[in-house]
Structure 1
Amino acid sequence: MSTQVDAVVNLFAGTMRGWRGTTVRGRARKTPEKLLKLYDIEASPFCRLVREALSEMDLDVLILPCPAGGTRFRPQAKALLKNTTFPMLVDENTGEMMNESAHIIDYLARTYEGGVQAQKGPFRGLAVGTSVLSTLFGLRSHGLSGLKARPSREPAQPLELFSFESSPFSKPVRARLCELELPYVLRNTAKGAMSDMGPPSFRDKLFKGPKGTTRNRAFLFEKTGKVQVPYLIDPNTGVEMYESQAILNYLDQTYAVR
């Protein structure tokens, strides 16, 4: 499937979730000294809920992909927390580790003073239900992307990806990173103001507001002169690039084992 068609599919999936994970709506007042670690499956609806919250709290995280059949981080997670499920959070700043998406979201909000909390009661059921529907829609449309492990070469250092959860062009890149079990620092780049809304080519003509409305958006603008996601940095090769299809091709050529 082309990235353009994939993006349309992911637009519908994002709509099912009410575009959660698009804007910073409860920025954390505290920043973890050490990166949070999230053992994650891109195609999991429960992992999606946590990634949405991380985007909205403007928190970065080290993603350790645990797709079905994975041998790199999945056994590691289960060794740390017996019978764990995913997502699983490890916070080396406090020594805490936990699973269950609602517990993780509430922990992050409480510990780092974020304004996003897990929904309770029937609203929790609605959140899980729409996340499941969104995930199933994506899987039905583009197969098992982000669900099953594929053979890959392990990088010496984690990659970096500037993304936000509902970004339709970032989704296939995160899925490929998950399939290949490539660890990466997720630099959450959610929108910080109305001037950030819409595709870059459209919003930059319509709005004349500042581009650096969040710390990661400011970083991209200062580094590249524009704000667009996904943006990949690979410290192992020195490669830095925009455009989801180019990133997918790069990941396959550099890390996939055929």
Structure 2
Amino acid sequence: MSQSATGGPAITLYRLQACPYCERVVRALQDHDLDYASRFVEPMHSDRDVVKRISGKRTVPAIVDENTGVTMSESANIVDYIERTYGDEARADGGRPAGEGGER
């Protein structure tokens, strides 16, 4: 998919090892052939300062999508966002993420 300004993937996923909610998001990203960077975070909830800085919460999974400017957490919300933004309906609009190239 697209790259960030630094040359890496435009989507960053903050996650824990062996977290079923994180794996749900990974599957959605893979199902849509999206490049993403994984950032594994501290297992101790109170030590997840990096996640708190980016999303306002310490919960994972959390994503930052530089394509659309979206930052969010909660696996169900993220999977829904990925489907709406990068799913079949979005591809019917020319493969652009929602918010690029016109209103929806």
TM-score, reference length from structure 2: 0.68
1:65-76 equivalences in 2 (<5 Å): 65-69=40-44, 74-76=48-50
Deviation at 1:83, TM superposition (A): 2.4
Identity %: 37
Q: Of the candidates 12, 18, 34, which is equivalent to residue 43 of structure 1? A: 18
Name the SS for the 2:29 alignment partner.
Answer: helix
1:112 aligned residue: 86
Of 39, 45, 48, 1:64 maps to: 39
Letter in 1 for 2:15: D
* Partner residue, 2:2: 32
Output the CA distance in 2 between the equivalents of 1:79 and 1:37: 14
Q: Which structure shows the bigger proportion of residues in helix conformation? A: 1
Matched position secondary structure for 1:63: strand
Instruction: Decide whether the 8 Å contact of 2:64 with 2:71 is kept in 1.
Output: yes
Unpaired segments ≥5 residues, structure 2: 5-9, 90-104
Whole-angstrom distance in 2 between the partners of 1:56 and 1:83? 26
How many residue pairs are counted as aligned between the two chains?
Answer: 83
- Structure 1 residue 114: Cα displacement: 4.7
1:41-86 per-residue CA deviation (whole Å, 9 max, x = no partner) reads 121110010111112211121001013149xx93111112222310
Flag structure 1 segments of 5+ consecutive residues without an equivalent. 1-30, 116-258
Higher Cα radius of gyration: 1
1:86 aligns to 2:60 (yes or no)? yes
